[in-house]
């Protein structure tokens, strides 16, 4: 157990000064609430006084709060004695001569709360180390504890609508909040990936999830956005090969077989183009904590505008959970926290369960999301990728009615409509483009 002097855990004078300032002028209360909540106060009597002040402030249309109102409120709730009686209440009111320094006092209170959280986390880390076990699991648990402190702080962020409303309206009118996916019909249905969004792209195996993500990443990077790809399935080298082939519009399998010189020239030229694009690939970041650390490092460096994760099924929560459902629920929440904490849209790929395979209509539904209902709950947008050609070929390998149509089914859209968007898919190049009429897609 870590031994810490109690005086380091709390600043009693700043707590009293914060409360005294709030009682002297209700106008400082919104600014104080940006920094502290009831849990920020160490002394129980200060918690109760704070809750009384805030309760009165919210009940009173004019916002006025004073000592007499607070005394009456506490007496009615039978809490006056619990906060030290009239003598202590009077002492708090007389702590400061004016309310000008309210935010300064509140910041000191908040800093002490963070220190107490740090001590608590350190004690938990001590227990994790003492318990022993797998070292990788211990490291993941320590990272989770550190990330949880960031999540708690982010959850307390408060935005004054009067300060931000016009900026939000301007951004929305200019269409500057979302990063376009680069497909015309899809961008009309879902106007881009917004900071803080968790976007799921889900499909059965072999539908082309990674190919679609590569196309989206290329489109975004070509528009100047800084793209991070966290690859858990493919190697970075393999993913770069696919990005080059997608940009060149050539078949990667043909490249490996020794194609004509003009195809090789296109492939090489595409590699030169790719070198100029702001794309970063990271392998094997399997836990949310590791992914958050990478995003944070990039934010502090050259920056990152959007993160792709391929794919959720290979992630691990780093926690001891009783089943995969609970683990995926924790992963889902962590990815949403990551998107919100660092104000970066996260596009995460996910597999579907086999339920859609047993239906006559193979189109996916939200209930087909694999392992956890939390994915549907936490995601801002859920897109399913469905290719009818894939099932036609399964039924008839010699089928000639293949038209390359791929359906992006927007099954959930928190801020807009749902529906189906058609793209064109070329199996030869493993690439998606804006939809074209059947049998007119140029695969070269």
- Write out the catalytic residue numbers: 233
- With contact defined as beta carbons under 8 Å apart, do 203 and 213 qualify? no
Q: Within 13 Å of residue 191, how many CA atoms lie on the same side as its CB?
A: 11
Segment holding 408, helix H or strand E: strand 405-413
Query: Buried (b) or exposed (e) across 383-405, using 16+ Cβ within 10 A?
Result: bbbbbbbbeeeeeeeeeeebbbb
Across-strand partners of 386?
407
Burial environment of residue 217 by CB neighbours within 10 A (0 to 12, 13 to 18, 19 or more): buried
Asked whether 33 and 22 are in contact (CB, 8 A), the reply is no
> Which has the closest alpha carbon to 307: 237, 245, 229, 365?
229
Q: How many CB atoms lie within 10 A of CB 235?
A: 12
> Phi and psi dihedrals of 418, rounded to 5?
-105, 170
């Amino acid at each position: 157990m870590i031994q810490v002097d109690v005086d380091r855990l709390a600043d009693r004078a700043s707590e009293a000064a914060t409360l005294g300032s709030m009682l002297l002028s209700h106008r400082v209360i919104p600014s104080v609430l940006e920094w502290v909540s009831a849990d920020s106060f160490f002394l129980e009597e200060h918690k109760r006084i704070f809750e009384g002040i805030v309760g009165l402030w919210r009940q009173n249309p004019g916002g006025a709060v004073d000592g007499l109102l607070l005394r009456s409120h506490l007496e009615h709730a039978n809490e006056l004695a619990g906060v030290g009686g009239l003598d202590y209440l009077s002492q708090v009111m007389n702590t400061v001569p004016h309310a000008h320094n309210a935010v300064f006092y509140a910041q000191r209170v908040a800093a002490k709360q963070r220190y107490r959280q740090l001590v608590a986390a350190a004690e938990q880390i001590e227990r994790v180390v003492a318990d022993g076990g797998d070292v990788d699991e211990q490291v993941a648990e320590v990272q989770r504890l550190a990330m949880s402190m960031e999540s708690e702080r982010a959850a307390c962020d408060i935005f004054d609508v009067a300060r931000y409303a016009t900026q939000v309206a301007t951004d929305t009118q200019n269409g500057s909040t979302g990063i376009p996916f680069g497909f015309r019909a899809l961008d009309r249905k879902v106007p881009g990936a917004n900071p803080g969004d968790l976007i799921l792209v889900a499909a059965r195996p072999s539908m082309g999830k990674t190919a679609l993500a590569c196309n989206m990443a290329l489109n975004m990077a070509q528009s100047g956005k800084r793209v991070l790809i966290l690859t858990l399935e493919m190697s970075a080298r393999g993913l770069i090969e696919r990005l080059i082939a997608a940009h060149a519009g050539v078949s990667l399998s043909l490249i490996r077989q020794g194609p004509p010189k003009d195809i090789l020239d296109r492939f090489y030229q595409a590699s030169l183009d790719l070198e100029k694009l702001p794309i970063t690939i990271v392998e094997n970041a399997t836990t949310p904590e590791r992914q958050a650390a990478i995003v944070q490092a990039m934010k502090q460096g050259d920056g990152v505008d959007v993160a792709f994760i391929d794919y959720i099924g290979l992630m691990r929560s780093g926690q001891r959970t009783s089943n995969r459902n609970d683990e995926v629920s924790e992963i889902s929440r962590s990815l949403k926290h990551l998107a919100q904490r660092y104000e970066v849209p996260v596009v995460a790929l996910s597999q579907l369960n086999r339920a859609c395979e047993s239906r006559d209509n193979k189109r996916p539904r939200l209930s087909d999301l694999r392992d956890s209902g939390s994915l549907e709950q936490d995601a801002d947008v859920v897109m399913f990728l469905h290719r009818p050609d894939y099932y036609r070929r399964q039924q008839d390998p010699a089928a000639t009615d293949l038209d390359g149509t791929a359906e992006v089914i927007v099954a959930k859209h928190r801020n807009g409509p749902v529906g189906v968007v058609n793209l064109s898919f070329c199996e030869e190049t493993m690439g998606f483009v804006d939809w074209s009429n059947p049998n007119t897609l140029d695969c070269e």
